[in-house]
Structure 1
Amino acid sequence: MHDPGPAFRALHAPGNPFVLANCWDVGSARVLAALGAQAIGTSSAGYAFTLGQPDSSLTLEQALTHAAEIVAATPLPVSGDFENGYADDPDDVAETVKLAFEAGLAGISIEDNKPDRTPYDRALAAERIKAAAAAARALPRDFVLVARADGMLNGKYDIEEALARLKAFDEAGADCIYGPIPPTWDDLARIVQSTEKPVNALAAGSFASYSKDDFARIGVARISLGSGFARAAQRRLIDIFSEIMEDGDFSSLKKTVSGAEVDEMLRKFMG
């Protein structure tokens, strides 16, 4: 069976970051691949939107089904956004790693908070990553485990706590560490300097103002887009339909991609 893990792991080069192209469905995955993506990421929020559900509402079964669909959509390695591992207990998080691997993923990200954004105690958060890492290393093929410290993003703890957690995750065996949206650019640089492991950065909020070269200069290895594409699509939908309903103005519909162009990209990955 094809092993996407080594090629995916090789992309994680500090100082030479690749862009993890986060999709929200099979169609967006294929378009991103046609545009030159090196790897695809799922987005739990983006996929939830397609189901008419809010962020953090997916079940493990939904995430696994979606992951398998995205894996089958293109030949590219796929990393899964698996929220908190859809479990609290370390042993259950380890089982999630095994199931994600069986779905064909090249890796997953595990957050250190519950679906309501409450952080796990730091020691428990580290134990969860230790169990996930042990499960990943016991797999018959390669698998890249990313450990996330989400408290800065969610306003639950500061950069010092994030650095302490990321150090614990590093020592617990994570392959890549990720503290989304630290307070400042210098804080992101501190995260990169705190480890020899590859660091993922999220291009969102103020960090979307920086270029790929900027991220490279401070040693970032991977730049993910999170739910950015899905939210951008929702923004366009909201804006255009608001113009139609409020002003009777359909002119924004002239600024779309042609069906033929999309069809051509999608056909590249059809059997």
Structure 2
Amino acid sequence: MPHPFRDLHVPGRPFILANAWDKGTARLFAALGAQALATSSGAHAFSLGRSDLGTITRDEALAHAQTIVSATSLPVSGDFENGFGDAPDALEETVRLSAEIGLAGISIEDISFPGVQHYTFDLAVERIKAASAAARALPNDFVLVARADGFMHGLYDLDESIRRIQAFEKAGADCVYVPYLQDLETVTRVCRSVSIPVNVGISTVEHLSLKDFATAGAARISLGMAMATAAYTALHQLSSNMFGEGDFAQLGESLPYEILDDCIAKGRAM
């Protein structure tokens, strides 16, 4: 049976996938209107005092995701980097474990760690084929997102990205994602290159509106690390003023405690 999370993925009618990094942010986003949540590997790493890219283990990612799942009744997708293994059977296990903790889906990248190298085309496709087969064997619906991350890291060009996501579609992916697209024309080209839903990351295209993404044909807009980065930016500015200049004035510009407390309480019930 289709799941409400899958039903949100409609090309031309994009929803915003809010990436939370703890129960508080999950409940805040839910209270303010988020329809679905996701983890963020980068935000999770930052919360642990680590740098991004390949520093989180599968057990840590699953435990963290379970915390987000338990925060609200909204569907949650796991941002699971390369699936925590190079071999296709590692992805099969990751899919099964993800479903067991209640995730509605996960996203899988086509790059390896440590270091950042892209998998060969054939291996990248085999990995998604294996993950898709595992997802289809689950008792509950599960949305598998296949990412072409080599583009973001400058490892291959847009033509290769499109070649990969078209192959990922044939391999059984439910949704595809090419991070760090730069403009509406490129977003439109990617969306038109496949017949399944396309996720667009907000980083690098913050100047576009939800209406623009709809016109391009996107089905989902993920915030990635954007909200965490915004929060850390505010903390950076406040701390610089306090510890550098002895100025506490910006603290007085914060939202009243009661508003935030009310949001957390409201989000808990959603």
Give the alignment's TM-score, normalised by structure 2: 0.96
Which residue is 1:201 aligned to?
200
Which residue is 2:105 aligned to?
107
Q: Which secondary structure does the structure 1 equivalent of 2:138 belong to?
A: coil
Q: CA RMSD in A?
A: 1.3
Instruction: Pick one of 209, 216, 219 that aligns with 1:218.
Output: 216
For 1:270 and 1:185, how far apart are their aligned partners in 2?
36
For 2:242 and 2:253, how far apart are their aligned partners in 1?
14
Q: What does 1:4-15 align with in structure 2 at a 5 Å threshold?
A: 6-15=3-12
Q: What does 1:128-207 align with in structure 2 at a 5 Å threshold?
A: 128-205=127-204, 207=205
Shift, 1:103, TM fit: 1.0
For 2:192 and 2:146, how far apart are their aligned partners in 1?
16
Which residue is 1:82 aligned to?
80
Gaps of at least 5 residues in structure 1 are none
Q: Is the 8 A contact 1:152 1:183 kept in 2?
A: no
Q: Is the 8 A contact 2:26 2:71 kept in 1?
A: yes
Give the share of equivalent positions with the same residue, in percent.
50
- Which piece of structure 1 moves more, 188-197 or 126-135? 188-197
For 1:102 and 1:159, how far apart are their aligned partners in 2?
35
For 1:184 and 1:31, how far apart are their aligned partners in 2?
30
Q: Which secondary structure does the structure 2 equivalent of 1:151 belong to?
A: coil
Give the alignment's TM-score, normalised by structure 1: 0.96
- Which piece of structure 1 moves more, 65-74 or 247-256? 247-256
For 1:52 and 1:266, how far apart are their aligned partners in 2?
24
Which residue is 1:28 aligned to?
25
**Count of residues in Structure 1 that have an aligned counterpart in Structure 2:** 267
Q: Is the 8 A contact 1:129 1:147 kept in 2?
A: yes
Shift, 1:188, TM fit: 1.6
Structure 1 residue runs of 4 or more that deviate by more than 2 Å after TM superposition? 182-185, 268-271
Q: Is the 8 A contact 2:199 2:222 kept in 1?
A: yes
Q: Which secondary structure does the structure 2 equivalent of 1:169 belong to?
A: helix
Shift, 1:186, TM fit: 1.6
Instruction: Pick one of 219, 228, 231 that aligns with 1:230.
Output: 228
For 2:255 and 2:65, how far apart are their aligned partners in 1?
27
For 2:151 and 2:184, how far apart are their aligned partners in 1?
13
Which residue is 2:65 aligned to?
67
Residues 1:196 and 1:238: Cα distance change in structure 2 (over 3 Å): same
Shift, 1:183, TM fit: 4.4
